[in-house]
Amino acid sequence: MTTQAPEKMEFQTEVRQLLHLMIHALYSNREIFLRELVSNASDALDKARFESLTNADLLGSDTALKIRVEADKENGILRISDNGVGMNREEIIHNIGTIASSGTKKFLESLTGDQKKDANLIGQFGVGFYSAFMVADNVVLTTKRLGEDGSAWRWESTGDGSFTLGEAEKETRGTVIELHLKEDAKEFLDEWRIRNLVTKYSGYLAHPVALVASEGEQKGEEEILNDQKPLWRRPKNEVTAEQHKEFYQHLTHGQDEPMAWSHNRVEGTLEFTTLLYVPGKAPYDLFNPERPHGLALYVKRVFIMNDCKELLPPWLRFMRGVVDSEDLPLNVSRELLQKNTVIRKIHDAAVSKSLNLLETLSKEDPAKYAAFWKEFGAVLKEGFHMNWDHLDELKRLIRFESSRLVAGEYTGLQDYVLNMKDGQKDIFYLTAENRRAAEGSPHLEVFRKKGVEVLYLVDPIDEWVVQTLTEFDGKKLVNAAKGALDLGELSAEEKAREESATGTYGKFMADFAAKMPDMLKEVRVTARLAESPCCLVSGEEDLGANLERILKMSNQTVPESKRTLEINPDHPIIQRLNARFEANPNDPRLPDWYGVLVDQALLAEGSDLKDPAGYVTKVNGLLKDLLEA
């Protein structure tokens, strides 16, 4: 074998920035480097075990998978080694070299400048390995890939712009990472400190973590620091909240804390364990369709894969956790997963357990549930149009902002019903671009006057939710901006007023509609307005202004639909305009007045004007009249 001289390579720009930060800016909480490296080692052992499932000889005689931590005080080196999969040359370059993961970029964008918070971001974005440079001024990684005959490799860097990569001497598979500790980081050579850190951060790991004595009579002896029973295999009531938190962070490579969890063992025709977590924070790429999701799958304690998407539907993609099955074959493949009935049943159980967990959270801790909703509500809402098996649960879980509550607070449908007025039959909602637009909508006026709560549906997906969510508890969900408004007994008085005014304004309304044939289907009197002179409503069957806006934004062609204009019979503008019409039905300014009123109704509901310049010309013409009068 000819050994080539090590090659010098440049880190990619983002990696360079990240390293610079690790070395110069992030000092607090740097002890997490050990968790990150031990966690990587554990993942490498999982992968080795997995690869050996299909090839029993792969591991040779070295079947005891283990992580070793050794403090070499003499040389100031902390060594973390594993006999896991290791890496070949390409893998090294790809994983810890030239290519910045999209996570690295996002990490850099997310920095707040607050050291503590920023250090906490490290794990979350999959940049864990580089945290070594918080404590080391030189890192040497020697690694040999499992199952490949090729050579071993030595990667070395001082964390400046480059690293070197060359062949190395290493007989056994796996990875050794040598951290040449900085002067001010020598504390991490202290065995007591290491023992504490490993127990604190890595106690739940399924692989043994050994502390190797470096001095004295015990030199070379190994002390196992964890008890290696996978956390989900322990009796439920023996696992502490602190352990769940640590395990969740290992599982997700994150620093957020889970909001809630559910740990269940099912024993029947099928045997499996589910451990589900509701995360505390949404990942930055929650809405990236390519983002992997699902639960980690184990078969009889053996790691099979992360992100097994067959275990949870996309609308529960925020959930994290583990499934460990007794019934699946160990050599289960991706193809097999797709049509496997065992997986299907575990999937159904995981969905029910997730929904139960959320419902319990919503009842026991509404404030926490509101925080959950802020992070993940939009994802859960996708369930309404993707799956009808769980509509009842989803209806109990959905939350909205509303006219009864201040911004940022949510109501559920059960609470809405409890707050309904005597005589109110329906559940009312408005769809709008945002809360401000909903609050400013003329359609809200009568509800405000009557003290009737209106839900604000201000998330684009809400338009699709209400296609499926049409009733709750026997009450219809009614769009407050569509069709003729029926407030039932609540508006008997207004109904009478509508009828009497319809006679008064009959001719005027016919003229109004006739002069705007492209825009208007009809002009009618309404009792729904208090302050505004008029508003536009859509037909029950039409898309509605908000949905039209959303569709246009995504460049879809929207069929033109005519609208109904409703006028407020008690508004002075309407009254005077009617008088002007009666005095002279051919008044040349009438079309401008009509046009301005319609355009203003469009603006009030948050729609765009078809001809903004035309609107300005009309308004200016009317202002000129006023000034000259």
Chain contacts with ligand ADP (rule: CB under 6 A): 36, 40-41, 44, 82, 84-87, 95-96, 126-129, 175, 253
What is the sign, positive or negative, of the torsion defined by CA atoms of 127, 130, 135, 140? positive
Q: How far apart are CA 126 and CA 123, in angstroms?
A: 5
As measured in angstroms, the least distance from the Cβ of 168 to ligand ADP is 15
CB count in 10 Å sphere of residue 88: 19
Nearer to ligand ADP, 15 or 304 (CB): 15
Nearer to ligand ADP, 207 or 528 (CB): 207
The size of the chain, in residues, is 629
What is the sign, positive or negative, of the torsion defined by CA atoms of 545, 546, 552, 557? negative
As measured in angstroms, the least distance from the Cβ of 199 to ligand ADP is 20
* Secondary structure (DSSP) of 436-495: HHHHH-GGGHHHHHHT--EEEE-STTHHHHHHH--EETTEEEEETTBSS---GGGGHHHH
As measured in angstroms, the least distance from the Cβ of 41 to ligand ADP is 5
Q: How far apart are CA 209 and CA 232, in angstroms?
A: 18
Nearer to ligand ADP, 37 or 350 (CB): 37
As measured in angstroms, the least distance from the Cβ of 28 to ligand ADP is 20
As measured in angstroms, the least distance from the Cβ of 210 to ligand ADP is 15
Task: Specify the pairing of strand 475-479 against strand 427-431.
Answer: parallel
Q: How far apart are CA 79 and CA 468, in angstroms?
A: 58
Nearer to ligand ADP, 33 or 261 (CB): 33
Nearer to ligand ADP, 225 or 534 (CB): 225
As measured in angstroms, the least distance from the Cβ of 108 to ligand ADP is 14
Q: How far apart are CA 467 and CA 482, in angstroms?
A: 14
Edge-to-edge order in the sheet of strand 534-537: 520-525, 563-567, 534-537
* Helices (H), ranges, 365-404: 366-381, 383-386, 391-397
Nearer to ligand ADP, 37 or 342 (CB): 37
As measured in angstroms, the least distance from the Cβ of 208 to ligand ADP is 15
Q: How far apart are CA 299 and CA 333, in angstroms?
A: 12
Region at 230 (left for phi over 0; alpha for psi -120 to 50; beta for the rest): beta
As measured in angstroms, the least distance from the Cβ of 392 to ligand ADP is 38
In which element (H, E) is residue 141 found?
Answer: strand 136-144
Nearer to ligand ADP, 41 or 501 (CB): 41
- Is the separation of the CB atoms in 397 and 366 below 8 Å? no
Nearer to ligand ADP, 126 or 314 (CB): 126
DSSP tag of 237: G
